[in-house]
């Protein structure tokens, strides 16, 4: 059992996860892709509970990328409906477990019903402080960085900044993750070994952990194993 091996004095402050493999998991078992996404919601609940219990402060889940809009319309529609149902079902548990929900990404592209549910949940959990659960929705890092550059240029042109003000710290303040610490650990399930346009700026010195386990099968023990493996590494931050 990996949980007993974890040193709780050296936990990663922020864990980010690319939840990959829902569709392939379902296809290999003769189901359609949306069934895999539905099963993936159960894993979200398990990992959120495990992170909260350990005392991790930030958990970012790559929920829906800007590239996912190019998937078949029926699948996108089903994913949006699943998101609404999940928010309705989980909001009481978020409150009970003192979890704050936030989002990053181009939320304006989401259907209005989804946006309303998200905003209501974010408002209701705004004062919670046990775990910050961050959903990356309609998110891509290239979109985020492009948007930040445009905003910086606007502020330079409007006299709010000069080129001498621009630094990595300032750029971080213009990203959608402003105020959120960079991830210490990034986990990707599903067997692919890439980061797929996810938090490109923020992952500069993040420890990367890849597993072939599909997301619907990624349970608490698998999460604890990733945390334990993270603690065996020496982080030098380029020094």
Give Cα separations from 23 to 145, 191, 214 (angstroms): 29, 13, 9
68 is catalytic: yes
33-54 helix and 220-231 helix, angle to the nearest 10 degrees: 50
Range 143-152 contact pairs with CB under 8 angstroms and sequence separation of 24 or more: 143/66, 143/105, 143/106, 144/104, 144/105, 144/175, 144/176, 144/177, 144/201, 145/175, 145/200, 145/201, 147/176, 148/174, 148/175
Query: Does residue 50 contact residue 220 with C-beta atoms inside 8 Å?
Result: yes
- Up-side HSE of residue 114: CA atoms within 13 Å toward CB? 20
The answer to whether 188 and 15 have CB atoms below 8 angstroms apart is: no
Residue of 7, 20, 132, 182 marked active site: 20
Catalytic residue among 7, 32, 68, 132: 68
Assign 32 to helix, strand or coil: coil
**173 alpha-carbon distance from chain centroid:** 18
**197 catalytic per annotation:** no
Active-site residues, by number, are 20, 68
């Amino acid at each position: 059992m990996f949980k007993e091996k974890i040193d709780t004095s050296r936990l990663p402050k922020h864990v980010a996860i690319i939840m990959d493999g829902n569709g392939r998991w379902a296809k290999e078992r003769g189901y359609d892709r949306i069934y895999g996404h539905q099963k993936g919601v159960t894993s979200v609940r398990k990992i959120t509970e495990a992170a909260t219990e350990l005392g991790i402060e930030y958990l970012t889940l790559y929920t829906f990328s800007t590239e996912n809009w190019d998937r078949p319309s029926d699948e996108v529609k089903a994913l949006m409906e699943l998101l609404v149902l999940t928010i309705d079902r989980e909001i009481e548990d978020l409150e009970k477990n003192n979890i704050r929900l936030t989002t990053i990404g181009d939320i304006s592209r989401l259907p209005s019903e989804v946006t309303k549910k998200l905003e209501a949940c974010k408002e209701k959990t705004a004062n919670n402080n046990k775990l910050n659960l961050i959903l990356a929705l309609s998110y891509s890092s290239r979109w985020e960085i492009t948007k930040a550059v445009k905003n910086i240029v606007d502020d330079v042109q409007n006299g709010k900044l000069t080129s001498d003000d621009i630094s990595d710290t300032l750029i971080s303040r213009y990203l959608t993750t402003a105020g959120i610490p960079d991830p210490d650990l990034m986990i990707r399930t599903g067997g692919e070994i890439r980061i797929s346009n996810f938090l490109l700026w923020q992952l500069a010195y993040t420890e990367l952990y890849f597993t072939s386990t599909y997301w619907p099968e990624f349970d608490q023990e698998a999460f604890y194993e990733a945390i334990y493996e993270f603690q065996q590494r020496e982080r030098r931050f380029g020094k």
